[in-house]
C-alpha cells in the first residue's frame, strides 16, 4: 500500500527518469537504436527496479499514466538527440500488456509522434506475449494500425511466454528479441545453442528481425556472429545509461 501511494506521488514529483541502452550492429559495433528503460529514484528507499514496481502499477491501473509518461519522454528525448545525431536510429519503448486495455495505444502513439516530430520509423514498441492473452483480436487490430503508421513492433522476452509460435503466425510484428536467459545458455550447453538456433530458423523463415538480448561475453558475441545474428544488446556493449551519458557516447563515437 505504501509503495502504491508512493508510486502515485512519484509521477507528480518527477522521480522517474529514463535510461537508454544502445542496441548495436553486432558486426560493426555501431549503435542502431536505444531501448528506453524506466528508473525510479525513491527519496528514502533509493533505487527501485521496474521489475518491482511495474507489477504494482499494472494492478492499480497506474500503468496507464506511467506508460504515457514513458512514451512521451522517450520520444521527446530521442527526437532531440536525433537533431544532433541524425544517424542514431530508433528508440524502443516497452509497453506493458495491461496498457492495451487501458488506453487507445495507436491513437496515443499517433499523437506523440505528431507533437514530438519523431518519425514513425524511429519508434519501436516492445510488447510481450502476455498482451494477447486477454483479447488477441483486439490487440492484433491495434498492431495493424501501428503497422500502417510505420511503427515497428518487437516481441520482447521471446521464448519465455506461451504459444509463441501461434502468435507469430497471426500477428503483424516486425521481429523478436531473444530473451537473455537463452543467450546466456548458448555457450553453456549444447541444448542452449540448439534452442536459439531453432528460434533463429523460425525467425528467418518468417522474415522476422532478431535482436539478441543480454550479450555479456565475447564468446556469446562470436557465437551470434557465427549464426548471422545482426543486432544485439547487452553489458558487453553498454549498460543502460542516463541521457547525458548517451549524448557523450554518441559524441565520442560518431
Ligand atoms: O531495466 P531493467 O532490467 O531493470 O528492467 C526490468 C524489467 O522492467 C524488464 O522486464 C523491463 O522490460 C521492464 N521495464 C523497464 N522499463 C519499462 C517501461 O518503461 N515500461 C514497462 N512496461 N516495462 C519496463
Ligand atoms: O524485459 P526487457 O528485455 O525489456 O528487459 C531489459 C532488461 O535487461 C533491462 O532491465 C536491462 O537493464 C537488462 N539488461 C540489459 N543488458 C543486460 C545484460 O547484458 N545482462 C543482464 N543481466 N541484464 C541486462
Ligand atoms: Mn524490453
Ligand atoms: Na527481455
Percent of the chain surpassing pLDDT 70: 98
Q: How far apart are CA 179 and CA 213, in angstroms?
A: 6
The DSSP bridge pattern shows strands 152-158 and 31-42 to be unpaired
Per-residue model confidence (pLDDT) at position 163: 60
Q: How far apart are CA 252 and CA 166, in angstroms?
A: 44
Residue located via cell numbers 544517424: 87
135: pLDDT strictly greater than 90: no
Mean of pLDDT values over 136-143: 93
Mean of pLDDT values over 118-125: 98
Q: 150-154, 156-160, 213-217: lowest mean pLDDT where?
A: 156-160
Per-residue model confidence (pLDDT) at position 145: 97
CA of 10 to the centre of ligand 3 (A): 22
Per-residue model confidence (pLDDT) at position 246: 98
CA of 192 to the centre of ligand 3 (A): 21
- Note the pTM of the prediction, 2 decimals: 0.96
Q: Which ligand 2 atom is at minimum distance from the Cα of 234? A: 19
The residue whose CB lies within 8 Å of the most ligand 1 atoms, and thus the one to mutate among 94, 99, 127, is 94
ipTM of the prediction: 0.96
Percent of the chain surpassing pLDDT 90: 84
Mean of pLDDT values over 113-121: 98
- Of the spans 5-14, 20-29, 168-177, which averages the highest pLDDT? 20-29
User: Residue whose CA is closest, atom 21 of ligand 1?
Assistant: 94
Residue from 169, 13, 5, 167 nearest 97 by CA: 167
Mean of pLDDT values over 107-130: 97
Q: How far apart are CA 186 and CA 226, in angstroms?
A: 12
pLDDT, tens digit, 9 for 90 and up, residues 82-112: 999 999 999 999 999 999 999 999 999 999 9
165: pLDDT strictly greater than 70: yes
User: Residue whose CA is closest, atom 22 of ligand 1?
Assistant: 96
State the pLDDT confidence band at 164, using cuts at 50, 70 and 90.
Answer: low
Per-residue model confidence (pLDDT) at position 88: 93
* Residue 97 DSSP one-character state: T
Contact 184, 235 (CB under 8 A): no
Q: Which ligand 1 atom is at minimum distance from the Cα of 49? A: 4
Q: 7-21, 43-57, 92-106, 158-172: lowest mean pLDDT where?
A: 158-172
Per-residue model confidence (pLDDT) at position 168: 82
pLDDT, tens digit, 9 for 90 and up, residues 41-71: 988 889 999 999 999 999 999 999 999 999 9
Contact 190, 177 (CB under 8 A): no
Per-residue model confidence (pLDDT) at position 1: 67
Residue ranges and CATH numbers for the domains of the chain are: 2-169+239-247 (3.20.20.450)
Amino acid at each position: 500500500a505504501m509503495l502504491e501511494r508512493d508510486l502515485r506521488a512519484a509521477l507528480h514529483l518527477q522521480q522517474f527518469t529514463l535510461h537508454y541502452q544502445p542496441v548495436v550492429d553486432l558486426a560493426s559495433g555501431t549503435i542502431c537504436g536505444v531501448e528506453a528503460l524506466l528508473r525510479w529514484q525513491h527519496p528514502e528507499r533509493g533505487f527501485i527496479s521496474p521489475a518491482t514496481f511495474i507489477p504494482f502499477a499494472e494492478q492499480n491501473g497506474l500503468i496507464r499514466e506511467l506508460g504515457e509518461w514513458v512514451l512521451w519522454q522517450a520520444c521527446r528525448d530521442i527526437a532531440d538527440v536525433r537533431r544532433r545525431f541524425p544517424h542514431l536510429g530508433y528508440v524502443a519503448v516497452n509497453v506493458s500488456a495491461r496498457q492495451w486495455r487501458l488506453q487507445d495505444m495507436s491513437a496515443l502513439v499517433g499523437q506523440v509522434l505528431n507533437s514530438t516530430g519523431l518519425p514513425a520509423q524511429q519508434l519501436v514498441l516492445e510488447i510481450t506475449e502476455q498482451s494477447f492473452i486477454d483479447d488477441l483480436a483486439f490487440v492484433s487490430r491495434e498492431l495493424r494500425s501501428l503497422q500502417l503508421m510505420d511503427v515497428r513492433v518487437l516481441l520482447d522476452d521471446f521464448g519465455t511466454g506461451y504459444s509463441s509460435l501461434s502468435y507469430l503466425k497471426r500477428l503483424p510484428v516486425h521481429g523478436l528479441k531473444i530473451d537473455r536467459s537463452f543467450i546466456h545458455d548458448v555457450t553453456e550447453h549444447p541444448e542452449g545453442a540448439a534452442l536459439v538456433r531453432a528460434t533463429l530458423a523460425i525467425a528467418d523463415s518468417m522474415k522476422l528481425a532478431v535482436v539478441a538480448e543480454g550479450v555479456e561475453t565475447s564468446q556469446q558475441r562470436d557465437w551470434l556472429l557465427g549464426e548471422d545474428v545482426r543486432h544485439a544488446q547487452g553489458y558487453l556493449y553498454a549498460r543502460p545509461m542516463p541521457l547525458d551519458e548517451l549524448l557523450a557516447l554518441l559524441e565520442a563515437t560518431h
